[in-house]
Amino acid sequence: MVTSGKGGVGKTTVTATLGRQLADMGYSVVLVDADVGLNNLDVATGVESRVVYDLSDVLAGRCSVTQALVADHESAALVLPSSPACFGLSAQAFRGALEGLEGDFLLIDCPAGVEEGFHRAVSAAREAIVVTTPSASAIRDADKVIALLSAYRLDDVSAVVNRVRPDMVSRGEMMSVEEVCALLRVPAIGAVPEDDCITLYQQLGRVPDFAPSEKAFRQLAENVARREKKLTAAVRGRRRRRSFWR
């Protein structure tokens, strides 16, 4: 599952881009929209106009789970969309709906926060990625999510620090990835620099190869696939030493 303590930190973008990177590496990937209230995963992947069935149709028996899958037009990944009609879906029903899915990676886009949707998503997950930004409010909310995840028997819990500004880290105006993860007490499986290309190109399709975030997302996918925790140099800011001499 890919989750976050608060909305607006880039959780759905991380889910979609990570899935596409894994698919480009040759893995079979299914992206599941478990955020039944906002259900933006189909929009983030640009497949909303081709959705025929969604998770609510699977639960109602109108189609099989494989019939509800939509092929991503930018990669070989598949998307399982949802809708507000799934509101009130139990954790047991959610797990049952996913039983027919096969693939190397099943990425569940979890709703932000710690309400019912969070517990529904984590009930079907084996590992968790918590997305946060270096802001104090996002870190505080992510910490609450990680505390709840400790009650579940997950194989791994790690963090993705999004929207990192290495220049601000160097000036001491933003916490570094290492400082964020020290506060959260979980390792970073990925870190993504602030990148205007994500906003500019998301509605047109995939973020281009020349985007500053592209290498960071590729490293994130490699970490997930290889169970490593390496970070790119693009998100590391070197603190400037202050001198008392003028």
Q: Residues annotated as binding site for ATP?
A: 6-13
How far is Cα 116 from Cα 118, in angstroms, rounded to an integer?
5
Residue 14, Cα to own-chain centre: how many angstroms? Answer: 4
DSSP state of 32: E
Distance (Å) of CA 170 to CA 66, 133, 177, 190: 48, 17, 12, 19
Distance (Å) of CA 114 to CA 6, 82, 109, 121, 220: 9, 19, 14, 11, 25
Distance (Å) of CA 105 to CA 77, 139, 196, 224: 10, 27, 28, 10
Annotated binding site: 6-13
